[in-house]
Amino acid sequence: MKDLFDRYLAHTSEEPIGMEIERGEGIYLYSPDGKKWLDFISGICVMNVGHNAPEVVKAIQRQAALYLHPMVYGEAVMAPQVNYGAKIIELLNNRLRRIYFTNSGAEATEGALKIAKKYTGRGELVSCYNAYHGSTHGALSVGGNPKKKVGYGPLLPGVSHIRFNHPEDLSQITENTAAVIIETIQGTAGIILPRDNYLKKVRQRCDETGALMILDEIQTGFGRTGYMFAFQAFDFEPDILLLAKSLGGGLPLGAFVAREEIMAVIQKNPMFGHITTFGGNPVSCAAGLASLTKILDDELVAKMPAKAAILRQRLQHPAIQELRGMGLLFGLIFDSFEFAEAVRKVAFDKGLLTLGFINIDNGLRISPPLTITEEELHTACDLMLASVEEVWSGN
């Protein structure tokens, strides 16, 4: 199998991890030859209720037996889509009243950029250095890592970048700005939390200039940070919200959620202003709704502070320069790429799966399924500390 993977599948790096997965259950992934990994990343914030949660599997099976794809997005009434959309709007409980389902996070970014331009009649976009909003052309244009853009230009014109957590840069948002696109917590940059009411200041500057605020909660949504949506911790609301990853409960799904009048621009002049064949696939929506229902029924969000406290208490070592994050979304920061990568490999051999970040190279991700028990978290911390110590003492 690995041989065929090496021969025929496109690889995004020269050295993919390349482990073969036979099945997943709860917080564990298993290979066909009997290896087992404690999943400390949840497919990067996707498997918030763990692998193969019976509620999610059943919902997928039930919907798959009814219908898979009756119609392009937006024309037919499909119960899983409608029920899921209504539940998300209800949980948001703010001015974001219309949801558009896509297939992925990058597509949600694309849709949001389009409606922001059309609604405001403006062409300029502002985003943050070190941001990640997806890999398609528009999303890459508002990405904040110049190295990732090399060779793919020309990208979108009219995009400028500001530094996250630097209110002095907000003057770059002007009356020509259609939208500011920003993550609530910069994930790919190594889990950078907003400081000193920064996001409220962005909101304020958007209000002053008439620019829209597009908030990317693709990594941080669905309980990951100890709030259902991370922005709920920071006392403001965006004009457009981006969701994906855990939204689909493990199946492909994204969404942008906007105020009524902003979303309305795709309906006319011309009609069908943003279309997708598979966006909001009913099986994905059924899986996502089952996953969200489990997050609510098992009260996973309320259990997060105790779990976060375990990580904070346990993950201390002279080699760990910083542990930053909230809820069950953390970055473990070391002094170099070589050290972080060595820890990742040792942890992998010990049965703990973690991964680096795209926009910094000296950190590792921690984002286990929210269903992880306190005891399992201690096991994960034991494995991580043993791995750090092994690399440290071998240095």
Interface residues with ligand PLP (CB under 6 A) are 44, 104-106, 132-134, 183, 187-188, 216, 218-219, 244, 254
Contacts of 220 (CB under 8 A, 6+ apart): 45, 183, 184, 185, 187, 229, 230, 329
Amino acid in the structure at residue 76: A
Q: Minimum CB separation from ligand PLP for residue 45, in Å?
A: 7
Q: Minimum CB separation from ligand PLP for residue 301, in Å?
A: 20
Q: Minimum CB separation from ligand PLP for residue 270, in Å?
A: 26
Q: Of the two residues 219 and 276, which places its CB atom closer to ligand PLP in the complex?
A: 219
Q: Minimum CB separation from ligand PLP for residue 114, in Å?
A: 16
Q: Which of 32, 48, 390, 98 is closest to 249 using CA atoms?
A: 48
Q: Of the two residues 115 and 342, which places its CB atom closer to ligand PLP in the complex?
A: 115
Q: Minimum CB separation from ligand PLP for residue 219, in Å?
A: 4
Instruction: Dig out the tokens for 301 from the structure.
Output: 């969000």
Report which residue's Cβ sits closest to ligand PLP: 105
Cβ–Cβ < 8 Å for 175, 207: no
Q: Minimum CB separation from ligand PLP for residue 284, in Å?
A: 12
Q: Of the two residues 88 and 385, which places its CB atom closer to ligand PLP in the complex?
A: 88
Q: Minimum CB separation from ligand PLP for residue 186, in Å?
A: 8
Listing DSSP states for 335-375 in one string gives S-HHHHHHHHHHHHHHTEE----SS-SSEEEE---TT--HH
Q: Of the two residues 229 and 339, which places its CB atom closer to ligand PLP in the complex?
A: 229
Amino acid in the structure at residue 307: K
Cβ–Cβ < 8 Å for 243, 218: yes
Q: Of the two residues 140 and 340, which places its CB atom closer to ligand PLP in the complex?
A: 140
Q: Minimum CB separation from ligand PLP for residue 316, in Å?
A: 27
Q: Which residue blocks in the chain are alpha helix, DSSP H?
A: 2-8, 42-45, 54-66, 79-92, 105-120, 137-141, 198-209, 260-263, 282-297, 304-314, 337-350, 374-394
Structural Rg of the chain based on CA atoms: 21
Q: Of the two residues 85 and 187, which places its CB atom closer to ligand PLP in the complex?
A: 187
Decide: residue 69, CB within 10 A, 0-12 exposed, 13-18 middle, 19+ buried. exposed
Give the number of C-alpha atoms closer than 13 A to the C-alpha of residue 221, restricted to the C-beta side: 26
Q: Of the two residues 198 and 392, which places its CB atom closer to ligand PLP in the complex?
A: 198
Q: Minimum CB separation from ligand PLP for residue 292, in Å?
A: 17
Q: Of the two residues 185 and 266, which places its CB atom closer to ligand PLP in the complex?
A: 185
Q: If you search the block for the tokens 């997806």, which residue do you land on?
A: 134
Cβ–Cβ < 8 Å for 239, 70: no
Rounded to an integer, what distance in angstroms lies between the CA atom of residue 196 and that of residue 201?
A: 9
Q: Which of 314, 42, 43, 356 is closest to 188 using CA atoms?
A: 356
Q: What angle do CA 248, 251, 257 make, to 5 degrees?
A: 30
Q: Of the two residues 244 and 300, which places its CB atom closer to ligand PLP in the complex?
A: 244
